[in-house]
Amino acid sequence: MSKPIRVGLLRLVDSAPIIVAEAKGLFRAQGIDVEISIEPSWANIADKLTYGILDAAVMLPPLALAACAGLRGPKARLVVPMSLSQGGNAIVASNAAAASLTEGGAQPRLLLLEWLRSHTERPRFAVVHAFSTHNLLLRYWLASGGADPDRDIETVVIPPEQVVASLAAGSITGFCAGAPWGEVAERQGAGKILLGTSSIWPFHPEKCLCVGEAWAEANPGLLQHLLGAVLRAQILCDQPDEAEGIAALLADPNGLNLPEEACRAALPGGAGAELIRFYTREAWFPARAHAQWFLGQMKRWKWLDEMADLNAIAAQVYRPDLLAAAVEAEGLYAAAGLPELEGAAMLPMPDDEAFSPQLR
């Protein structure tokens, strides 16, 4: 066996496929040795992938794209050969804010403008990273309710494990974060889940597996085995029968040390408001249409300039071709059929794109 493949991840439920693949011996079954590195921040993941200190990592798709588009320094050379999960984030508000936003059982989006108008100071919302699915979906949702996220709220970045305490302490009005933190906020009485992000964009891609382009090119065999093991783990992660055991794995004090019940609630068959999917509905397929949507939102908010070639960036970073060998070797999908999946990728309803800020 050669030296281990170094895979980075954060303490989140959607890191499950890597944790499960290691615990169930799926990496070993592929003849590869994986060393898992639990990182404290997304910035660490991005930096370590860029400089080859990590070979692969569980990643936020918008951060991978932003790094490659040059939004956090020189353009990084990273590729996304597979998606890891769909859904699982929650938009959460303090109890008082949630009461105003859901008055009379209304959809929070409909009461959003009125609620914002009642504030003299901009309400403060936390996301886990500027270039996160969470931030882009929160902004998209606010805009679809007629608000301008740059003008009408203040956005702060707070590590996921600290959002619940910040909400309880009143230093933020709400947050958008991944599982299990929305569930934890409700269980601790710090706030209420307004909506799961799947109601904004059904089957939205959440985490992806990201690898350094140089590593992928130099190690096609290792990459295929890594992807094969992760695909097998994704299948397990999607089975409700397995969820209890997986929640226990995620709660291991020597591992991710996550709250077990809240993890169980976010896994398939769980009781949570928003569930994570890992495999079904081609959750594993890295559709370029998804990358284009994320990039389109970054252009919409003027993070990327008008001239940026979104299709070129999407094609450079999202590499379903790198997945072909693994899906075929595992007998999961005919490689020839992969391009068709591109057409089946779901996007949010285009109606919601009508963005006209109405406030003040």
In angstroms, give the least distance from the CB of 61 to other proteins. Answer: 15
Q: Which of 288, 284, 317, 353 is nearest to 66 (CA)?
A: 317
Using CB under 8 A as the binding rule, whether residue 127 contacts other proteins is answered as: yes
Scanning 40-48, 80-88, 257-265, 307-315 for contacts with other proteins by CB under 8 A, the matching segment is 40-48
Q: Write the DSSP assignment of 276-323 as a string of letters.
A: -BSSTTTTT---HHHHHHHHHHHHHTTSS-TT--HHHHHHHHB-GGGG
Task: For other proteins, give the closer residue by CB, 86 or 297.
Answer: 297
Question: Per CB under 8 A, which of residues 48..77 are in contact with other proteins?
Answer: 48, 51-53, 63, 66, 71-74
Residues 135, 144, 173, 234: which binds other proteins (CB under 8 A)?
Answer: 135
Which helix (H) or strand (E) covers residue 43, if one does? helix 42-50
Cα 268-278-218 angle, rounded to 5 deg: 155
Q: Which among 244, 338, 215, 243 is positioned nearest to 284, based on CA atoms?
A: 338
Per CB under 8 A, 162 contacts other proteins: yes
Taking CB under 8 A as the criterion, the residue among 301, 341, 346, 352 binding other proteins is 301
Q: Which stretch binds other proteins (CB under 8 A): 94-102, 112-120, 149-157, 283-291?
A: 149-157
Residues 147, 151, 157, 163: what is their CA dihedral angle, to the nearest 10 degrees? -50
Is residue 299 within the footprint of other proteins (CB under 8 A)?
no
Which residue matches tokens 């959607």? 14
Instruction: For the beta carbon of residue 221, count every other beta carbon within 10 angstroms.
Output: 11
Distance CA(131)–CA(39), nearest Å, equals: 17
Residue 89 tokens read as: 């984030």
Residue from 6, 129, 207, 264 in contact with other proteins (CB under 8 A): 129
Is 355 a residue that touches other proteins (CB under 8 A)?
no
How many residues at the interface with other proteins, by CB under 8 A?
A: 33
- Residue found by looking up tokens 């284009």 in the block: 292
Minimum distance, C-beta of residue 63 to other proteins, in the bound complex (Å): 8
Smallest distance from other proteins to CB 37, Å: 12
Nearest distance from residue 197's CB to other proteins, in Å?
18
Say how many C-beta atoms besides its own lie within 10 A of residue 346's C-beta: 17
CA-to-CA distance for 4 and 2, rounded, in angstroms?
Answer: 6
The single residue listed with the structure tokens 């936003």 is 101
Output the smallest distance, CB 66 to other proteins, in A: 7
With binding defined as CB under 8 A, does residue 357 bind other proteins? Answer: no
**148 near other proteins, judged by CB under 8 A:** no
SS3 131: coil
Residues that bind other proteins (CB under 8 A): 40-44, 46-48, 51-53, 63, 66, 71-74, 127-131, 135, 154-159, 161-162, 301, 303
